[in-house]
Amino acid sequence: MNCCRKQSSSPLGFGKELWAPGLAGRAGAGMGSVGNERSLCSVLVDCFPCFRTQPLGDELPELIKHGRERIEQTIKASGSRLCSYAERVVFLMDRSRSPDKNTQPSTPTDNINLGPSANPNAKPTDFDFLKVIGKGSFGKVLLAKRKCDGTFYAVKVLHKKTILKKKEQNHIMAERNVLLKNVKHPFLVGLHYSFQTSEKLYFVLDYVNGGELFFHLQRERCFREPRARFYAAEVASAIGYLHSLNIIYRDLKPENILLDCQGHIVLTDFGLCKEGMEQEETTSTFCGTPEYLAPEVLKKQPYDRTVDWWCLGAVLYEMLFGLPPFYSRDVSQMYDNILHKPLQIQGTKTVAACDILQGLLHKDQKRRLGAKTDFLEIKSHVFFSPINWDDLYHKRITPPFNPNVAGPADLRHFDPEFTQEAISASITRTPDLAASSSSASDAFLGFSYAPTEEDI
């Protein structure tokens, strides 16, 4: 059935229904996701047609109790994989009998130089656009080669009209600001340029073609503990760095975790990030991806940085067992599980693995692992005792899996649905920025960015 097909995202952070260049389609991988945000309502409607004719209630408890009642509040939800997971459930159930063989809008910070709207150092005609490697609700992610030096990039191209229509310009600008801060961390996708034309916004990002973590997980069903530990450590390092900048990520999931050509993690899609979050500060925006929402978010209570550690626990659990910890095809049941069902850990996992899952997936955010000293608590947990964190940061640890890509043109980890699509001619030309309507132009003032000598 169609609704049970996983929607693709893009490798560069297209999010929701796309794959990202690092996210090259849910069956492929590439760059990340483009900030394709969908309301929870639309996710339910897509996966469960019965919701089309029966409205939902305002409060979450009513959603849990009456799954078909109406929710009028639109929530930012980064694309659910409820249906795609259903396709894996039968297989996982068959395997369960045998032993485990694989033991809100933010404002720019003062230290960010937003610069002019136009960027004289970059324009569409500077690139040869080779392939579509991801799609999102706002645009596409393209593999591009810069003409002057032959360097490959993932270029995320967004349509201004769509962004303005959905009133998402603040999130796009927040994503840009976070991207500018990522350049100093090895496991975060980096921004090289951003520029705009009268109709479109362009993010020129690191090109990553080792595939989405979800793609590999879907193919292999689950990972052995050492491999899951390696990925979880690199992700935790990236999240810890964002927290050190007072940024919470809020959308950690396998689709937003890419592998580079060597097999290291690259975290992408920063459309739901929240800046300015001091250690004790909380926020209350209801956002994230349904399968990974923390209990406090579902309860619409104020939450803090520990939501990211909950998501890390959910992703680690999924890597070890093949499905998110409280997954149910019935959305209301899944939410009830997240809120009330005790964590169940089956199979022959180590004591350390069980303990860190219990700590990260603690329903009380004040008692969750990471609540006291944030990333330091994660690093010091016995589960990560085999990890030398300095070696990990400097990529001196050989990844447990090599994607075996032949080079930048190797698109084996990208969904052919994207790579076979024709590239629109409008993406490659450089229209006069002055032709832009004043509203579209003013909405993205300061979007453009070019690195200074100091940045380089």
pLDDT in tens, the chain (456 residues): 333 334 334 444 444 332 233 333 333 333 333 333 333 444 433 444 343 333 333 444 444 444 434 333 334 444 555 545 444 444 444 444 344 434 333 333 333 233 344 555 678 888 999 999 888 778 889 999 999 999 999 999 998 888 888 888 888 888 888 888 766 799 999 898 888 888 889 999 999 999 889 989 989 999 999 999 999 999 999 999 999 999 999 999 999 999 999 999 999 989 889 998 998 899 999 988 999 999 999 999 999 999 999 999 999 999 999 999 999 999 999 999 999 999 999 877 899 999 999 999 999 999 999 999 999 999 999 999 999 999 999 999 999 999 999 998 899 988 888 888 888 877 777 665 554 445 555 667 778 777 655 454
- Positions marked catalytic: 251
Give dist(CA 20, CA 34) in Å, integer. Answer: 7
Token pair recorded at residue 365: 């955010």
Instruction: Name the nearest CA neighbour of 290 among 317, 326, 343, 242.
Output: 326
To the nearest 10°, report the CA torsion of 271, 416, 4, 345. Answer: -70
Candidates 376, 307, 378, 369; CA nearest to 338 is 307
Domain boundaries, the chain: 222-393
Residue 401 to residues 25, 150, 189, 232, 255: CA-CA distances in angstroms? Answer: 20, 28, 20, 14, 17
**Is 165 annotated in some ligand binding site?**
yes
Domain 222-393 has CATH 3.40.50.460: no
| Paired tokens of 362 | 């603690």
